[in-house]
Amino acid sequence: MKKLSISLLTALFIMASCNNDENSNNEEPEVVVNENPASFKEIGSITIGGEAAAEISAYDEKTKKLFTVNNSGTNQIDVIDLTDPTKPTKIGKIDLTAYEGASNSVAVYDGKLAVALESTVNKQGNGKVVVFNTTDYSVIKQITVGALPGIW
């Protein structure tokens, strides 16, 4: 009986000490913005190549730069300054030729740009992810991955 009482007391203590996240007062409530896509308007544009040249992009809020895979016969990431979104300006590029792969995906997080590169030699061959610094475009790391990598 003593073991049962201790077990019940322990279970009661554990259950009573659990925090219900829904009742937590320490967090700010999530803000939900109900935007109407029909009200969206173009405020600026830029030409960086032919048709489908800029279908894959990632925005770095820290540097106000847009990193765009340029598919118009080049193997590069175009860097576009969006400090003034009404006047986007191409300010640089990251040449991917040295990495022996074709870019098919980009993602930005915490000042880092990850570029997924598929093998240009064998579609079923290993690809790689190359991570760049979004400020000076220096290489932080290269990682060998499986075939046809993508970043979401």
| pTM confidence score | 0.73
pLDDT tier, 21 (very low <50, low <70, confident <90, very high otherwise): low
pLDDT of residue 55: 80
Please compute the mean of the pLDDT values over residues 69-75 and round it to a whole number.
84
pLDDT tier, 12 (very low <50, low <70, confident <90, very high otherwise): very low
Is residue 46 packed enough to be buried (19+ CB in 10 Å), middle (13-18) or exposed (0-12)?
middle
pLDDT digits (tens, 9 = 90+) for 107-152: 999 999 999 999 988 889 999 999 999 999 999 999 999 998 887 6
32 pLDDT exceeds 60?
A: yes
Length of the chain: 152
pLDDT digits (tens, 9 = 90+) for 100-118: 888 989 999 999 999 999 9
